[in-house]
A and B are shown apart, each in its own frame.
Chain A
Amino acid sequence: MTDRKQGGRFVRKVADKVRRGPEPQDEDLWERVQLARHAERPYTLDYINRLCSDFEELHGDRYYADDAAMVAGFGRYHDHPVAFIGQQKGRDTNERTYRNFGMAGPEGYRKAMRVMEVANRLGMPVVTLIDTPGAFPGASAEERGQGGAISRSIQMMWRLDVPTVAVVIGEGSSGGALGLGVADRVLMLENSTYSVISPEGASAILWRDASKAKLAAQAFKPTAANCYRWGVVDAVVPEPEGGAHTDHEQAAEILDQYLSRALAELGAMSPADRRRARRERFRKLGPLRDPEGGMGMATGRETPPPG
């Protein structure tokens, strides 16, 4: 580990770059999508193993099976117990198949809920790492209640008394991402995306043509800077020069600083205050138009993200 001071300078430098950077243009947006799914990008376990001095992974939802697309367990983070949960992708063909491309089924969300329940009972913070093209679309998943598993995971995250932080580390698409996304603080890595559906899915549905993914990405503008503007995320976490895939160590160090700060801030609040703020945070998302009086509930921020 490099010392903290150097890391701090680096964070400021990258943050400045993000702040001053121009609005991503159309070509740039597609590059962002590609970068968010870069095969060498650090995945959930890459971060967990660097953030925690020790990590005990748990398996199985205690109802049906273990879902390898979802990783959940307890870690020692800055000498505190913290629950870590996140979708896990694979790097080579075998591992990709084993991890089901990071697409969790109902068992994955039920495993996540099981770990959240323990964390809540034992009073440890919950950190989720989001990296999925979406929840698994399959007949078996539907039969076992994919929709209900996601909605209950959302409900469980909202009901937790302990501090919660969600981090979009790569691809955050559809309800499969939001199932882990209802937290006190939502962070997003500079080159990650967070969207209602994957560009491929959108192009098949809206353009009725699977080859229009690029157009879809340009229409959704799912970048970290935009999500910050809309109020969907609370901070943009900078990545090493060139992207997180160039230096896993440094990417984890920068995330560590943002994560530890967020947890420290949240730890100072009472559970009731946290839940009230969590409710308000999600309640105000979504701009409306009142035909009689211009914009009704405008949300979002005008300025791009600070460091």
Chain B
Amino acid sequence: MPVLIAHTISEATEILAENPDATILNGGTDLMVEVNFNHRHPSSVLLLRNVPQLREWSIDSSQQTITIGAGVPYAAMETGAIAAAVPALAQAARTVGSPQIRAAGTMGGNLGTCSPAGDTLPVLSALEATIHLSSQDGERIVPFGEFMVGPKKNSRLQHEIITAVTLPITGRRQGYSKVGVRNAMVISVASACFAVVDDTPRLAMGSVGPTILRAVKAEKFLTEATTNLNIISDEIAREFGQIASTEARPIDDHRSTAQYRAHAIKVLASRLAVRGTAS
């Protein structure tokens, strides 16, 4: 019952090809909770934490994109060059768990688990990030919208590992907010990312549906209601939130109610629409 330790991406895909049932481990902040509570009994584990390539990130200035390795911990996204390139991602990373969780947890893990409450996922949805997957067959790049297919379900194939995420550097305003029962160490009850990309507004909503949802009607409304996305009246922002709320598909569960989640999304969307504007 071994832990199989990879040191390169090709070694990792080779191990996975030989051990297709291996549980993939990076920061461990999701997996070990399930193991500690006897919800999962892995028989073999593929460790990706010791693959230096997965902890790298780079900016492509000609394409205006940033590619962040799946093993980069949240702590590295909170400040510095990653935060400057993708401020909404930094804001989302800062809401994850606690400093100890952010030192260990990774975006690769967020994508592997693919919970609707995953903190970075609304950012990946709003910015239409692409997910890089590697296997013995080569590399596959999947848009986030096709990657997350259900609650805790993604389109990663069993023999693939998530290696990186590519996001656009928009240079326009973007923001992330979430609601939970307290400030630190909380799983979101509702979350949202607003971003202006190619001069169009985008809103992605978390914890209010089976996947991260894009509020396409609200986006269309805001595009038609404004001529300058840096000047948004409170009235338009309120209606934007109202429409977004009708596009949410929240449920009652142990963390909150559908009714409260719909309300929270309305408030989050309204606030994010005006955050950073001149008015």
| A and B found bound together | no
